[in-house]
Amino acid sequence: MPAADSMAAQLLAYFLCLLGLIGTLVATALPHWRHTAYFTSNLITATSYMKGLWMECVSHTTGIYQCELNRSMLSLPQDLQVARAFMVFSSAISTVGTVVSAIGMKCTRCLHQSPTKDLVAVTGGACFVCGGMLCLITVCWTIRNILYDAYDLFYTGGINYGVGLCVYIGFASAIFKTCNEDQSVRVALNPECFLYYTNLL
């Protein structure tokens, strides 16, 4: 691949991964993971409920919007605690990947003409992939729990919830972060780079 095309591919992958990081942060912060759904009834109330990783909100048709933070960790269900941890780690690892990838990109002057620059780029790509997988696991597990509760005949939770907007944002963000590292993989599989790092060992 020509140098210009390689640089353009890296830039495209980087900005898509950066978009994925922003989406992950938005999905982690907002309370729209679950919202009121009506699977078995035609009754529509004047109040809708939303649940997120950190708070629960109530929206009224009058325009009043009330939210309450989940302050007690011990009172939270185990799946919510795990989802919190996974999304926080995903955001943190992706942030590290943003910095490391910027250093390893061909269009930056950091580590210019250094043989370790390609390895840094691969490391940044690996951070994005790990962050994307954590986010993907979280949203898929959330969808599974929502659908299980929605169609469970013995569900006693009272309110049925559907998939919220943040789940879709998280899913798209995970795809952006995990499917744009082909350039880094191509560099990692470059025989010249492999021989160089083998000689270092």
CATH of the domain at 163: 1.20.140.150
What is the separation of C-alpha 99 from the centre of its chain, rounded to a whole number of angstroms? 17
How is residue 55 written in tokens? Answer: 């708070």
Q: Which helix (H) or strand (E) holds 132?
A: helix 117-150
Tell me the torsion sign for CA atoms 147, 148, 153, 159.
Answer: negative
Length of the chain: 201
pLDDT of residue 3: 52
Distance in angstroms (rounded) separating the CA atoms of residues 168 and 49: 18
Please name every residue paired with 69 in a beta bridge, in sequence order, or none if there are none. Answer: 55
Write down the pLDDT at residue 49: 86
- How many other C-beta atoms can be found within 10 angstroms of the C-beta atom of residue 21? 24
Cβ contacts of 99 within 8 Å, gap of 6 or more: 124
- Beta-carbon-side half-sphere exposure of residue 125 (alpha carbons within 13 Å): 22
Of the candidates 45, 43, 65, 44, the one whose C-alpha atom is nearest the C-alpha of residue 56 is 65
Cβ pair 187, 121 in contact under 8 A? yes
175 bridge partner residues: none
Token pair for residue 59? Answer: 């929206």
pLDDT of residue 194: 42
Give the structural domain span for 80: 3-200
Average pLDDT by consecutive 10-residue portion of the chain (201 residues)? 63 88 94 77 67 88 82 78 94 93 79 76 88 94 86 67 91 87 50 44 41
Q: What is the pLDDT of residue 142?
A: 93
Q: How many domains in the chain?
A: 1
Res 12: pLDDT: 84
**Kind and range of the H or E run holding 201:** none
- Return left, alpha or beta for 108; rule: phi > 0 is left, psi -120 to 50 is alpha, else beta: beta
Strand runs labelled E in the chain = 34-36, 47-51, 55-60, 65-69, 161-163
